[in-house]
Structures are given as C-alpha cells and as structure tokens.
Structure 1
Amino acid sequence: MTPNDNPQSPRRAFLIFLLIVVPILLFIGWSEASLNLSFIHPKNASQTILLVVVSTLIFLAFVIFALILARNLLKLYVERRSNKLGSRFKTKMVVAFLALTLVPVCFLFAFSYGLLNRSIDKWFGIPFDVVRSDATEVVRQLAIQAENRSRHLALHLTTNPRLAEAAALGNRARIERILQREVSDLTSESAMFFDPNGTLLAAAGEVLLSSSEIREYLPDHSFRNLPADGVSIRKRSNDEDLYISVRPLNYAAGGTSGAVVTMTRLPLNIAHIAAQIQNEAAKYDQLSRQRKAVRRVYLLSLSLLTVLILFVASWFAIFFSKQVTVPIQALANATHEVSKGNLDYRITARGDDELGSLIQSFNAMTRQLKENRLALERAAQEIQKANRELENRGNIMEAILENIPTGVVSFDPQGRIVRANSTAERMFGQEIIRKAERLGDLFAPEEAREVTRLFRRALRQGVVTRQMEIGLGNRRAFAALTLSSIRARHGAVGSLLVIEDLTELLRAQKALAWQEVAQRIAHEIKNPLTPIQLSAERIRRWIGRADRRTVPSDLVTAVEESAALIGREVTTLKTLVDEFSHFARFPASRPVFADLNDIVSKALRVFDGRLDGIAVRCELAGNLPAIHADPDQIKRVLVNLIDNAAEALEQSPAKEIWVRTQVDPERDTVILMVADSGPGIPAEAKERLFLPFFSTKHRGTGLGLAIVNRIISEHSGTIRVEENHPTGTKFIIELPVEHMPATAAHPAREA
C-alpha cells in the first residue's frame, strides 16, 4: 500500500468540505429565516435569483445530508449483518453518539415546538389585534381629519365673496391677503389660487407642489371644467402625507373661473408612524392569513435542523469509530498477510495515538520477522546443504552396504535389529530377517548361543571376529562373523554384525587343492598303467599261443579272464586319469556374446530320444539379454545338470525336468534353472556337492559338478542348489549380463 492509494484521502477532503460549507449554509439559512439583515433581503431581480439559488442549495444540502445519514445507517446495518470487522464497535459508537444527541435534540425540538406554538398564538392573539386595530383607526382618523380640513378650507375660500371680488378685479395682493388670513400659521396648511390657465396668482403658506404636478391629478390635466364639488388628492412627498383639495371659483361674468388649491399635511413623524403602522398592519394581516404556513415552515426548519444534528452526530460517530476500526482492520489484514507468509506487507495508516504506536510496533515486528526469516532461510539453506551432503554420504554408504558381498546387520544399544542390507537378506532369507527382532533369532539355537557370547565380548572388547559354520537360509555355509560395537562421545549407539560367506572361497581352495592332488594322482597312476596294460596283453597273447594239451584248461581260462580283467580295469583307470588330467588342466574359455536361450535349445537337442519316460519342460524368457560366455562350456554345464537329473529320476514315480531362463533387471543378471522331481539331495551333502570326488551316485567320479562349479566361477557367476517343491532338486545358475559394444557382432550361434 502507498500513500496515494489511501482510501481515507477523498473522505478526509469531503469531511473538510462539509466542515466549511455546512456552517456557511446554516448561517445563511438561519439569517434568512431569523435575522432581519438588510443584505439578506433582495432589492432587485438578480439578488432575488441569488437568494433563491442559495435557498435551493440549502434545501438540497439538507436532503443530501438526510440521504447520507440513511446511507450510513443502512451501510452500518449491512456490515453488522455480515459480521464485518469493526462493525460492532462502529455500531456502538453510532448508537452512543445518536443517543447523546437524540435525547437533547428531542427535548429541544419539543421545547422549541411548544415555544413556537405559544409565540405564534401570542403573535396573533386578541390584545395584539386590538392594539393593531386601534393604531390603524388612529392613523385613519388623522388622515380623515387632515383631508376634511383641506376640503373645508377650500370650500370656505370658494364661498368667500371678497375673494371672488378680488379675483374679478385681478388684485393679486388682495387675494394673497385673504388667503393668508384664512390659513392658520399654527397648522400645516397652505392655499393657492390659480387662474383658468393654471397660473399661480397668489399663495399663502408653503408651496409644496407646482402647477404641473397638481395638473397631473386633475381631470383632463387642466384647471378648467373642474367639478363643482372639487377634487380631493392624497400624495406622499418627502415622507409626508399631503391632503389636497381643488375647487373651482367663478369670479367673472361669462363663466370665467379660477381654482383654489388647499393643502393639509401631516407632520413628518406622524406620517412616518402612520405609514409604518399601515405597513406592519398589512404584514400582520398577511401573516395572520398564513399562520398555518408559518407554523409548517418553522416546524420544517426544526425538523431539518434535527436531521442535520443527527447527521453530524452519526458522521462524527462513524468518523471517530473509523479512527479505531480502520487501524484495527488494517492490523487484521496485515496479520492475515503475515500468516500467509507475506512479511513485506506494511501498514501505511498513520496516527499519533496508541493505535499509531501499535501500527509502528507491528511494522517493526514484521521487519524483524523478515530479517529473522531471511536468517532462518540462510540457516535452512546451510542445513539443507549439510543434509544433502549427509544424504549423499548416506546414499553412498547405503549403496556400498547394498552392493558389498558381505552381509551387514545393525543393532540398537538394546540389541534389537535396526536394519539389514540386501546381502544379509539373501543369506538369511527375507522372511527370517523380517521376523527376527534380536541377534539370536537369526541363527539356530546352538549357533545363537555362540553368536550371543561373541556379541557380549564385542560389547566389552569393541571388535570380535570368528569363522564358523552356520546355517544361512536352507543351506550350511562357512562364514566369517565380525561383531563390532559402535561408540560415540556420549556412549554406545549400537553394534554391527558383518557376515562374509567363505563357502565359495573355501570351495575354491578345496578345488585348487584337489586339482593339485588330481594332477599328482594322474601323474603317479598314468606312468605304471601302460606297462601293466602291455603286460596283460602279452600274457593274453602268450596264453593264446600256448599248447592246450600241455597247459591245463583251467589255468588258461583263469589267465585269460585275469588278463581281460586287468585290461578293463586299466582302461577304467585311464579314463579316471584322463578326467583327473582334464580337471587339473582345465581348458581356457573362449567367451563371446551369446544367447542363453539358443545355448539351452542346443543342449536339449543332445537329449532328443534319449530321455525315455522323462518329460522335459522348457520355459525360456523372451528378450533375454546376451551373456559374455563360452557357449561350449555353458552347454557342457547344462548337459551335465540334465544328465544328473535324468539319473536321479530313474527310481522316481514322477519324472519331470524343468529348464527355465529369466532375467533379474535389478541385479543385472540372467538366471538359468534346472529342476527335477526326483528324491532330492540330503542336506548334509549339499555343502560338499561341488567338491571334487564327492558324489551321491554309486558309480560317479565326483568331478562332474566340480567341473560345473569351476566353469560357472570362471564366467563370474554363481551356482547354488535348493530344494524343489514338492520334491526334487533345483540348481540355480546366475550369470552377469554383459552389454555388447556398438561394434560387436550378434550373439554367437552354433550350427
């Protein structure tokens, strides 16, 4: 918000306008109605129009004030109904101001109205009417008396024979003497004599009017042909009332006549008083006829004044309430904005009172909050950066833990399992890891006691390592167990169990040892086999050439059978020596990018027509990725496993072999599974199954699965044996997926 956008600016200007214009209009209206000022009463048309315009403006102002008052009250009612902030306080202020003004205004209105009625009744009461009528009658009698004196004087002069005689003689001096004798000096009278042409011949007293002025009031504007009873004239001159009588005077034969003019005037003060009494009497009569209208005008004035007072009261109530509600509403809006996170919001309302101090404190608070938020944001960014670093480190550690070949299980200080990595889950099985709560739950009872003792030693010593044979899932394994206590500055925070499966290493070491043994056995046995075989053949040839008559037949038969037996056993020993030699000197693999499904199909074709009564079910996964392997050696592995499965099914009622391929995208491996429905392999034999010279068959050499294990190991894969459900054995081979380079050929396929 900016100062230019402050909605109080136009309202403040309007309030200033009202404070200036309203008193002026009130003064003009009160002056027009109550004061009898001269500048209020117009003397010409333009002033009258101006006064009418001002009166109209006053009336319009009162109407506008009444409408604004009604609008303010209606607006306040709507705000109260809508529960607008500050409406209740504003209502209380308006009600309080109206109550404070309405009660005295009502009393003043009633008192003024009663006083007005009594005053009007007194104005038009009977005593005042009597005084008015008496004063009017006095003025009328004075006027009649002055008029009668003027008329009687004119009649007396026109009937005076001496005046007629003097007029006939044309003696002006005599006429003037006669006029002066008749005119009293003590009265305001004058007399003049005019000839028929209107020429003044003589005068007594002050000449107030000229011949031409008198002629204006005469018939035909001439002194000739005057009526016999004369003419009476009333004229105001110089604030005096003149009563004039004009009568003809016949003073010569032939009808020649003159005119006698007499004037009687009321004194200046009497005339003025009489005129004023008459004017006031006329006004009084007019007001008396408009008594009800006057009453209505004053009643309307009181009503308009009451409305104006109520308007001013409500206006000031709303104005003063806004001095409180507007800052409070601004504070509420600002609080709402701050609650939404807008700390840049500032209140622009100003004030010198406590609310102004509160607004300044609020703005200072928002500034401080913004600074604190910026500081918190900087701290949060630093914390986020540190958290990201910790998270990256945690992710790295997580990735390391999830990808290392050793199993890791963490425990809290109370010995409860916190988590285990994926290798540990594969070793023990996800179900066992999920159900286990403590260290002992992962092992068999006897193993658990030994591992628990190691755990206690680790808590005392820090780190303990032991190599022992344990059960991992459904197999036995030789593993290295490392138990370590994790300590911080404030004490122990937990412990770790690291399990390294040494079975494959031990198996490789045993295979290497047996390889050396096989090499020595092959060397030591192969050397005497050839002489023995040659000697047996020589004995057989010699006995064949011997004379049957000299050599007993029983001896010949025994020698021939012995020689044949020696030859067969020598052949068997040679075969065994050849296998030993092959095991000892395993040919190097020639890996290429190959399709495992293609290798499986070719291996199965070897057994076409040879597996009587055995159902071979092949499930090959589509879109299988290529492997980098020696197709001949992988084929040899598969042929060996299928051949062993076929031999295991000889005494089994259900004869089925399953060959299945699939891909594990998470581990990036290809899985080859060979399962049968035979009797299975005893648990104690599974751990030695891949060792040289160990066989569960009566006629086996014990080198087939050892060679299979060696081939898979050289291809960086793993092989394990599991139980097949419901019966039988399942061999699972996992080979890593190798991504072919862009220049590599298609996977090799054997013809």
Structure 2
Amino acid sequence: MPELNPPKSALGMVAPGSADPAVPPNRRDAPEAERKTPHLRPVWVVLILLVSCLALTVYYSQVVMPAGEETDSFLPTTSYAFVLLLLNLDLIGFVVLTLLLSRNLIKAYFERRHRLVGSGFRTKLIAAFIGFSLIPTVLLALVASGLVNKAVDVWFNEQIEKVMKDSYEVARMQHAGHIALAVNSARAIGQELFREDLLVPEQRDLLAAAMARKRTEYGVAGIEVFSAKMETLTKALDPEVPAGVLDLPISQLVLQVINGKQEFTSVQEAQMGRLVRAGIPVASSSRRGELEGVVVVEAYVPESLLTKMEGIGRQYAEYKQIKAMKNPIKAGAYLFVAVITVLIVFSATWFGFYVARSITVPIQRLAEATEAVAQGDLSVKIEAKATDEIGTLIDSFNRMTEDLQGSKSKLEQANISLRQTNVELDRRRAYIETVVDTIAAGLMSIDRNGIITTYNPSAERILGLSADRFRGRSANEAFKEFGLDLFQTAYDRMLADDRDDVALDGQLDVQGKLVTIGLNASRMRDEANKDFGFVLVFEDLTELIKAQKTAAWQEVARRVAHEIKNPLTPIQLSAQRLRKKFLEKAPDFDRVFDDATNVIINEVTSLKHMVDEFSKFARLPAPQMVRQSLHDVIQEVVTLYRSAHKDIELLVELDEDLPPINYDREQLRRVLVNLFDNAIQAMNQKGRLWVSTKYDTKRKRAVVTVADEGPGIAPEDQERLFVPYFTRKKSGTGLGLAIVRRIITDHEGQIQAGNNQPRGAVFTFDLPV
C-alpha cells in the first residue's frame, strides 16, 4: 500500500505526487523511477504490526490453546496475560493508525487552504470516499458492538453458569458413583466371603459360582478373589467389557491391600475406557488378625461416557477462567470492531488519496509542462504514469510538444528560408521596379478592385500626366476625367467579356496633340489561376505608324510602278510596231494591227484588274458582327470545295465545346476561301486539306487551323507573307493574305503561318469568344 504522505508544500504539506519545491527543475524532468528512493514507510510498518497482532490474537484464542485436547469447547481457551498483551498491542496499533490517518487528513486540509494545484479536487474526492464509507461503517460498528455486548452477556449469564455447574456436578457424581459402586460391592462381597467362609479350598466351586452371581447382581465389570499369598482363587468378568481393559495390571493393588490390611481403590486408564478397582481384605475366620484373602471389584467406565465426563469437567474449568476475562473479552471485541472500522475508513481514505493522486499528479505535471511550454520550452516531456484517459491526455500532450518542437524547427528553417526569399523578392522587386521605371513603353496596373496601383515614368511621358494623378484612384474615374477613351474601352472589354487579353490602337488627344496609341491589356493571374487585376502596356505609335505608312506607301508605289511598268512595255512595243507598219504601208498591217490592239487591250485589262484589287483592299468595309456558330460558315465553305474539287480530300475536326462567337459571316467566309485557294494551288489541285477548330478555355479564344501537304513556306518568306503585293504565284496580286490579315485584325484576332509536319503549310488564326 503506498504511503499517504504527500510531498511537502510551503507549510510542509502539498498534494500527493506534487513536485517538491526543493527539487531543482532539471530533477523534476527526470524519470519518476530515478526520483523515488525505496524505503519502508510508517503506514506499512503499522499495518503489518496491527494485522500480525490481530492474527495472533485469533490464532492463540482458537488454535494454540485448545491444541492437544478434545475440541468440544464452544469458547476460546487462552491465558489472560497473553490475551491482554495482544489486546494492548492491537490498541496501540489502532491509535497509531488513527494518528497517521489524521495526519494525512490535516495535510489535505492545509493543502486546500493554501490552494495548491489539485488540492480542491483531491479534498472533495477524499471527503466523498470517507463519507460514502463512514456512514455504513459506523452503523455496522454500532450494530456489531451491540451484538458483541449481547453475545458476551449471554455467554456469561447466571443460567449458563448454573447449567455448567450442574453439568460438572453430574459428571463428578457419575465418576464418584463408579468408585462407590466398586467399593460398596467389594465390601458386601468381602463380608459374605468372611461369613460363609468361602475362601477355604473345599469351597472353591461354590466360590466361583457365588462370584459369578454377585457380579451379575451388583452389575460390575468383574470380581477377582485372591488368596493371602496373591494367588488368584476365582474371576468373574463381564464378557462385554473389552479384554484390553480387564487385563490391566492388578497385582500392585492386591499387594497394597495385603500389606496394609485395609481397602484401597485405583483408577486405571485404558485405550478403550477407564477401569475403577476397589480392593477389600477378607479376614480369616480361624486365625484372628490374619488375612484369608483379597476381593477386588472392577467397575468399567466406557470411553464415550468418559469423554463426556471429561469434557464437562474441562468446559466448566475453562468457563470459570473465561468468566474472569469477561471485561477484557468485551474490550477486545470492541477494539476489533473499532480496528475494522478504522481499517475500512483508512482504506477508503487511502483509496481516495490514491485516486486523487492518480488524477492530480498528472494534472499538476500537465500544468507545469504547460507553463514551461508557455515560456517557450518545447522540449518538456511528462513522465507521469497513467493508463486511463489521463494517460491518453499525457501521451497526446507529449506528442503535441514533440510536434510543436518539430514544427518550431521547421518554422525556424522556414523563417530562414523566408528571409532569404524576402531578400530575393526585395531584390527582384527592386529589379522589376527599375525595369518598369526604365522601359520605354508606358505601364499601368489595375487591381481587382479597379484601383490604379502602378504608373511608370514612360506612361507620364506618353500621356503627359503625372503619376500622382493616377495612383490610388479608380480606373473608371481617371479614364473619364482625362478622356482616355481607348483605355476605358479596353478595360470595359476585359471586364465584360472576361477576357485574358485585349489589343487596341487608336488616337488620343494629349495636350492638344493627336497621338496614336498601341494598347495591350492583359489579365494578371497567379499559379492557382486567381485573378489579381489587369496590366495595361501602351506605346506612342505616332512616329512608328508614320514611318510604317511611309514605308508601306513606298512599297506600294514601287509595286504599283512595277506592276504598271510591266504592261506598259508590251503596250509601247505594240504601238511602235503598229506605227512602223503604218508608215511603211506594210501589206501585213491588218494582221499586225489586230495583234497589237489585242496586246494593248489585254494589258490595259490587266492594269484595270490590278487597280480594282487595290481599290477593294483600300476600301474594305467594317465588319458587321453577329453572334453565331463558327462551325456553320466552315461547313458551308467545306461543302463548296468538296463539290468543286474532287481530287482534294477535306479532313474536318470541329470542337463541339466551342460556343457561338461574334463575327462577320461574309468576311470570315472570304478568309476561309483565300486560305483554301492558296492551299489547293500549293498542292497543284490534288492532296489532303485539314480544317479544325478548338476552344481555348484558358484564353477564351476560338482557334481555327487550315493545313495542307504542299511544299510549305520558305523561311525567308515568313516575315513578308502578309505584306501587300507579296506573292510567289505567277498570276497573283499579293493582296489575298493581306486582306485575310486585315479581316482577322478587324475581328480582334491574330493569324500566324508556319510549316506543317511532316510537310506542307499551316495557317492558324484565333478569335475572341
């Protein structure tokens, strides 16, 4: 049983299992097995002594003293002094145990008074155990005490004593009756032998018959007659008496009678019972003063009767001894009941302390460990042993501290990594800010709340407006205030159509001067595809467009001059030939005239056709947008070419997920016709032509691809492919692909050309959805 002595507090007492303030903190963290020093505690000693004394009391009262005697007694047999000593030792143990119990209860009281950790719960738990055990135990003790008092009074009342005394007298009288029977019978027989003179040799037969008759008459076990010389004259023995009893030695008794010349009695014990003998001298009738013989009468006491007689005698003697110990027996019984009561209360109190300690000690360890964790010590570990829910809580706490320590280590590493990352990010941010501030293009960023956050110096230069007038303001308010309609249009399209990018160009009035702006707006997204707003990059294209226009018109003038010069040469030659033949009055003038005029007419027709194509390119109408399916116009053109070109295999793959889009049906039909014509001419009217559509969900664009298996596009022609009047065909004008690009651009799309694999060319254009 563990000791009920809690560790010391400020007043010398703290809760069981609480940490001793004198113990250093590092020792508190040591395993509990190291902190415990084995020693024999006072409670163990007292309990061992008390239980030993109680056991000895019971043992000596019930086992030791009655040993070796017949055990018909219903009361214990023990010595008064030894029992009194044991009772005193029991009383001392009871007092010491009560003091120890009181000491622990007083400690618990002072612990609660000083509000030590767990003292309140421990006190309540101990009080509950004591209360639940004290009431029934006290009631049981009172009832037991009453029963003991009544039982002792019943044992030692006058009626029992009278019965015991009468029983003893009856037993004593029974024993005296057997002796009296033997003596009286022997006297009567001796007188008759003397009177009848039956001991003479002539009366031997009559003597034997007379003794047999007398034995039956007196009811004795046997009659033996001896001469003065100790010779056996006759025997009359009861055949029912065991032979081993009647064979007991008799010579000593006969010798005593002869020598003493008086009667003697003897009591001899046998295995089967007791034999009482009475010897009477028989005087000689002829010789005065001499003995003629001795008659011995034997009375047999059976073993069963003997046992009862002895038992009654022993019990009466013991009763008189025990009666003298009536008060000590009562005191011992009361003390036994009191000790049992105290043991029950002590057990309940100890169990309360044990249960409370098993709960409060881990709780206190948890509180101390929690305080250590709160101070930043994550290496703390609770060593308290528990197997219930408290043990689960302790295990969870230990795992939590281990996880926290691991997390702290990881957090420190992450913090170091984060610092390095922040330094890198600061460096990159500074680099990006430097790039943004130094790039020639204007840059403006708008967050997802519509607030302008970035406005670089190039934007100030291009728009002539300082950054302070834009940063931190709503984009819609700033665009409206400064008349930035092009920016407002791009921003509205990004919001309305949920586009990822928009490309526009137009003119703005910057400080009274028209400036051509090329604007590209893109949506900013992170790796998780989360929207962060928009970035607008714009350039002043005034000088660039002016230079491009100059260069374009120079190229157009050169190409037009070249195209006009080509037909003028045959016209000039035909006119000169015609004039020569006319002046010569040549006989073949009519034939020459006809040939020359045909040449002139054909070349003029060619010039007219070229001028018409140029006019068409110059006055290409604005697209009329209608929301409709892109697949309808593709299927229409595919059907037309399948019926017109039998040697062309058209392979069509259309994306069913592509939604309807806004486009001009006639212009887009012209785009497809131009691309199909170029592909068929490249394949010399024979081969496979692929047409496919795809919906780019991320960019929200409709992608159309037209591919052939012709000779492909030469690398040097890639950059000039969409330039007006550039062609590799003998009869081409070089305006077909330029018109295609113009239409796609008017639809806010883009077109690209490249080589197909393994051979051929591929044209890809995309339109906004």
Q: How does the TM-score come out when normalised to structure 2?
A: 0.43
